Amino acid sequence: MQGSFAPFCPTAQTELLLRSQTFRKSDIKAMAGRTEHHYVPRVYLKNFAGADGKLFAYRILVSHPNVPEWKPFSPRGIAYHAHLYTRMVQGLESDEVEEWLGREFEAPAEEAIDRAVHDERLAAAHWKNLIRFAAAQDVRTPARLMERMAEWPKLIPPLMEEVLQGAVAKLEEAKRSGVPIQPSSTPYSDYLPIRLHREIVPGEPMGKLRLETVAGRGYWLYALKHLLTETIAVLLDHRWTILRPHGDRSWFASDDPVIKLNYNSLSDYNLNGGWGWMGTEIMLPLSPKHLLYTQVGKRPQPQGRTLPDEHTQILQKIMAEHAHRMIFSAKPSSGIPLLRPRVVDPEAVRRELELWKTWHQQQTTAERELRGG
C-alpha cells in the first residue's frame, strides 16, 4: 500500500525519522520462544473443562456434514495459531508480544479468575486484573484481526496522506527557519512497517516524498499494544459485577468471547459496541456459572445475581452469535447447534487453513521486501 507523492525542497538538511527499538541479537534470540500462540489462553479455557480436564469444541465452519458436532480437547490443544503474534526484529523472530500478553494479562488474572469462579471475595486488585484480562481477550483474537484488516484499506491511505503532508510541512518549515527537525518517536512506532522514499532529480527545485506500508500483522500488533497500554484505562473506570445463569443453564465460551452489546430488543440490537460507549453491555464468560459484566454508564447489578430465564436465554443466543469459528463447552450441548447452525463449506475451510498455514511467511516476506531485504 502506497501513499501519494508529495513535493518537498531537497535542500533541507534534515528529514523525519521513526525511532526503532534497539535489541542485541542475543536478546532477540532469547525472545524467540513458542510458535503456537494461544489467542484464548489455557488459564481461561480450563474453567470450561470437565472433571477429566477436557472441554468440547463445536466448530461453526466445517468441510463436510459428517464432521462430528462436538470434539474433546485439552485447553492446551485448541484456540491457537502458529506465529500469530510473532514480530521480526532485525531479521530475527521475536516472541515478545506473546510473552508480554502472558506476563501482563494472563498470569496476573489467574488468581482473580480462580477466586471468581469459586465465589470467593474479590479485592480491588483482583477486579483490576479481571478487567485487564477481558481487555486483552477482546483485542487479541483472529476475529478482531480479520475485522481490522477489513477496515485498513479505507483507513490507512488517508492516514498516510496526512502523515506525508505533515512531513512535507515540517521539512519546509525547517528550510525556512534554519532549525533542524528533531527526531520524534511514537510509542510502538517500530511495530509499523513503513518506508519513506525521497526522490530528488538533480537540478530540479523540488523533490518528492513517498510512503509505503504493509497493512497486516504490524498494524494489528501496534493497535493491540496501544489499546492495552493507553485506551484500556477507559475499562477500568466502569463498574463491574459477576452474573449467574438461570437454573441449570450455563454460559459457554468461544474463540471470540468478549461481547460488546448494544441492546434495545431482540429485533433491535448489535454487537458493535465500544469500551467507552454509553449503554454498551460488555461481558466475558468466566465459567459455565460466572459472567463478568458491566454496562457503560450504569450502576452494576448486585454481585452474584442470578438472571431470569428469559434474560439468560437471550445472552446465550448472543454468545453463540458472537462466536467466530468455535464454541467451547464443558459438555456437548444439543442447544448450541440450534442457536448457531454449522456452515458446511469445504472451499472456505480450505482457504482458512491455507491462510493460517502461510500467515507468518507472507507477513514476514512482505515486511522484508518493504524494508529492502
**189 domain residue, yes or no:** yes
Distance separating alpha carbons of residues 315 and 245, to the nearest angstrom: 9
Per the structure, the count of domains in the chain is: 1
216 located within any domain: yes
Is there a domain that residue 272 lies in?
Answer: no
Tally the C-alpha atoms within 13 A of residue 33's C-alpha that lie toward its C-beta.
13
Name beta bridge partners: 207. Answer: 8
Element (H, E) at 365: helix 346-370
173 band by pLDDT with thresholds 50, 70 and 90: confident
| DSSP secondary structure of 117-168 | HTT----HHHHHHHHHHHHHHHHSSHHHHHHHHHHHHHHHHHHHHHHHHHHH
Per-residue pLDDT at 9: 36
Looking at the chain, how many residues does it have?
373
How does pLDDT run across 5-25, given as a tens digit for each residue?
Answer: 344 333 332 233 333 333 344
Let me know if residue 267 belongs to a domain. no
pLDDT reported for residue 147:
93
pLDDT exceeds 80 at position 214: yes
Give the span between the Cα atoms of 145 and 159, in whole angstroms: 19
pLDDT at residue 20, as a whole number: 32
pLDDT at 89: 87
Residue 123, SS3 per DSSP? coil
pLDDT band at 33 (very low <50, low <70, confident <90, very high): low
The count of other CB atoms within 10 Å of the CB of residue 217 is: 26
Cβ contact 31:94 at 8 Å: yes
Residue 29 confidence (pLDDT): 42
User: To which residue does cell 490443544 refer?
Assistant: 77
Identify whether 242 is part of a domain. Answer: no
What is the arithmetic mean of pLDDT over 186-195? 83
Range of the domain at 194: 1-15+81-237
Joined together, the cell numbers standing for residue 208 give 518528492
User: Is residue 294 in a domain?
Assistant: no
Is residue 146 one of the residues assigned to a domain?
Answer: yes
- Residue 28's pLDDT band, with cuts at 50, 70 and 90, is very low
Burial 74-94 (b: 16+ CB within 10 A, else e): ebeebbbbebbbbbbbeeebb
Average pLDDT over residues 249-253: 97
- Cell 480491588 belongs to residue: 124
pLDDT (0 to 100) of residue 34 = 66
In a domain, 370, yes or no: no
CB-CB contact of 81 with 34 (8 Å): no
